[in-house]
Amino acid sequence: MRTRSAHRWLLKLTGMSKKYALIFFIIACGLFLRIYGINFGLPNLYHIDEPAYVSAALKLGKGILSDPPYDPTGFVNILFAEYGLFYVVGRILRFFNSAGEFEILYRTDPSYFYLISRLSSVLLGTATIAVVYKLGKTLRSEFTGLFASFFLAVCFMHVRESHFGTPDIAMTFFVVLCVFLCVVATEKVSLKYLGLAGLAGGFAIATKWIALPVVFPLFISGIMFVNTLHRKSTWNWMKVLITLLTGIVTGIIIGSIQIILNPTPYLGKIEAEFLTAKNLGFLGFQVDTLPGWLFYLKMMFYGLGGVLLGLALAGFLIRLVQTIRQRNATGVLVLSFFITYFLIMGATFHYFARYALPLIPFMVIFAAEAIGFLQRLKGYPNQYVRISLPLIILGLAIIQPLANSIRLDEILTRMDTRTLAKQWIESSIPEGSKIAMDWEVHGPPLSTPQTATPFSKCTYDVTLIGGAGLSDHPINWYYQQGFDVLITSSNITNISLISKEKDSLRQAFYSSLDQKLNLIRIFKPVQEEIEPAFIFDEIYSPMISLWQRDRPGPTIKIYQLK
């Protein structure tokens, strides 16, 4: 009897070891895909949003609580804690000996600070894989958890955004964690987990305001919690409500202490963004011509791949039907955030691909549930078909996102066209030349007397033309102002304006440059003459043109006026 019991124990232990080895492999794959290439562009900064968060976190160390552009501060506070730890460890290891040297390090080479910022997204993105595994397992089965976590590990959109030191991945992590804790709280009937869910939800909102629909699963879980109790007394309702509100408010306070202390500029930013959401496009640029809901479906096609998106939509319909038929409260809880977020975000005209990120973890769970549904169907000719079919579908579903993720990592390790242009300009254009170029970060990062860029050999008199770019002025204006060089970036020239009349004039301006000015140098991300495919969200990283590109960055054209 003892031998048989020991044998069973050994088999159980072996099975657990295999399961944990598989989970570890999935998470390790996800970590590798997200961390490879995170030093892209450094020490130059080619993501227009990253500097705002890093700068705000460092200024917080100086006691500056409020600083433009007055964005949500949850991610900033995470960075502030990490930079504080970096400073303490650096002092202990004598990497720097004072706060002054710490600041000098940032100004001479900010790479360390941006790597910490990007590593935060990498780790939180990888942690999301583990939470998705637990959520899928809790909702359905071990099978669902493993498949869903594998889908998220290779998901191209999630991998891509995890390379950037911005709050989108962090917000997605806290949203999924909140929903998972809501499910656990209702299953275990635990006020502790309900409070933790509120804490995660509050911090998600503080990290990015678009996470606000997370309050729906929170309060649905509170209703479910009370319904599981034998006594549905007023006191029980009050306990649940107080627990939820305490958690939510605490999460918001931790993530938004700056906003609480000085709310006026942040409230002004919220109002401005609300008004912007009613307008078509972004700062006059045409992001896309599709309605918001179709736009996000298209972005998820790019981010998930056709097969995985099809499975996700099928799984969503299956869960929706089952929830309605069975009156499944847990199903309502899970679907509440997904549906409300999609409907709210799709109703605005202010959309970007990364805004679809909070939907992705739920989509991969729905996809895994769809495969599980197929496996449970009857009528298979034999057991081998029933076992092999999910594996075949799994392989088909991950081919496209995995290939795109690997290709993106490979591209990001190569030198950016803007860095190449910078090196050539410093060796070929006389120092002090007067240069005009499109926008910030979309052209070569040249050093000026007012703003030095790391490891620059020369300084130039640079004017950045905002608005619609260089086309805001006629060519004669640049002659009159004494400019020596014009530099265009395809990140700006490829985007259309909402106004057809203005866009026509703008395109005519850029087309005329080749005839009216002397094109002295061009830097392209491709070998061929044909320009790679382009959508708005490629302004900071390749997305749909991965297999056409040889390196990251826009096409840079350098024109000489004199």
For the chain, the first-to-last Cα distance in angstroms comes to: 95
Which residues does residue 485 pair with via DSSP β-bridges, in sequence order?
A: 435, 560
Q: Supply the Cα-derived Rg of the chain in whole angstroms.
A: 26
> What one-character-per-residue DSSP string does 373-428 give?
HHHH-S--SSHHHHHHHHHHHHHHHHHHHHHHHHHHHHHHTSPPHHHHHHHHHHHH
Contacts of 127 (CB under 8 A, 6+ apart): 173
Give this prediction's pTM.
0.93
**Structure token pair of residue 16:** 């657990």
pLDDT for residue 380: 66
Answer for the pair 512, 543: CB distance below 8 angstroms, yes or no. Answer: no
Report the distance separating Cα 516 and Cα 531, nearest Å: 22
Report the distance separating Cα 336 and Cα 260, nearest Å: 28
Residue 521 has phi, psi (to 5 degrees) of -165, 145
With tokens 């997605």, the residue in question is 172
- Rounded to the nearest 5 degrees, what angle is found at the Cα of 216, between the Cα atoms of 213 and 221? 145
Report the distance separating Cα 355 and Cα 396, nearest Å: 26
Report the distance separating Cα 220 and Cα 233, nearest Å: 17
pLDDT for residue 1: 45
Q: What is the DSSP letter of 24?
A: H
Residue 433's identity, in one-letter code, is: S
Compute CA distances 470 → 324, 438, 445, 489, 491, whole Å: 55, 6, 17, 10, 13
pLDDT for residue 280: 64
Largest CA distance in the chain: 98
Question: Strands of 434-438's sheet, edge to edge?
Answer: 461-465, 434-438, 485-489, 556-560, 518-523
Contacts of 372 (CB under 8 A, 6+ apart): 140, 141, 143, 144, 147, 390
Residue 128's identity, in one-letter code, is: T
Q: Which letter, b or e, does each residue of 535-554 get, where b requires 16 or more Cβ atoms within 10 Å of its Cβ?
A: bbbbbbbbbbbbebbebbbb
pLDDT for residue 498: 86
CA atoms within a 13 Å half-sphere pointing along the CA-CB vector of 37: 23
Pick from 255, 207, 248: nearest CA to 357: 207
Report the distance separating Cα 303 and Cα 265, nearest Å: 35
pLDDT per residue, tens digit, the chain (562 aa), is 444 555 454 445 455 667 788 999 999 999 999 999 999 999 999 998 999 999 999 998 888 877 777 888 899 999 999 999 999 999 999 888 888 899 999 999 999 999 999 999 999 999 999 999 999 999 999 999 999 999 999 999 999 999 999 999 999 999 999 999 999 999 998 899 999 999 999 999 999 999 999 999 999 999 998 888 766 677 788 989 999 999 999 999 999 998 888 888 888 777 777 766 666 667 778 888 888 899 999 999 999 999 999 999 999 999 999 999 998 999 999 999 999 999 999 888 778 899 999 999 999 999 999 998 887 776 666 666 677 888 888 899 999 999 999 999 999 999 999 999 999 999 999 999 999 998 889 999 999 999 889 989 999 999 999 888 899 999 999 999 999 999 999 999 998 888 888 989 999 999 999 999 999 999 999 987 788 888 889 998 999 989 999 999 999 999 999 6
Contacts of 442 (CB under 8 A, 6+ apart): 48, 418, 489, 491, 492, 539, 554
**Cα 358 from chain centroid (whole Å):** 9
- The alpha helices in 66-190, defined as continuous H runs, are 74-92, 99-108, 111-139, 142-154, 156-161, 168-188
Q: Which helix (H) or strand (E) holds 553?
A: none
Answer for the pair 74, 207: CB distance below 8 angstroms, yes or no. Answer: yes
Q: Which helix (H) or strand (E) holds 557?
A: strand 556-560
Q: Which letter, b or e, does each residue of 267-303 get, where b requires 16 or more Cβ atoms within 10 Å of its Cβ?
A: eebeeeeeeebeeebbeebbbbeeebeebbbbbbbbb
- Rounded to the nearest 5 degrees, what angle is found at the Cα of 200, between the Cα atoms of 196 and 201? 115
Q: Which letter, b or e, does each residue of 186-209 get, where b requires 16 or more Cβ atoms within 10 Å of its Cβ?
A: beeeebebbbbbbbbbbbbbbbbb
pLDDT for residue 2: 47
pLDDT for residue 7: 46
Q: Between the CA atoms of 449, 453, 454 and 459, what dihedral angle is there, to the nearest 10 degrees?
A: -40
Report the distance separating Cα 376 and Cα 522, nearest Å: 58
Pick from 128, 121, 112: nearest CA to 58: 112
Which residues does residue 519 pair with via DSSP β-bridges, in sequence order?
A: 559
**Annotated domain spans of the chain:** 7-41+116-412, 417-560
Pick from 522, 539, 548: nearest CA to 411: 548
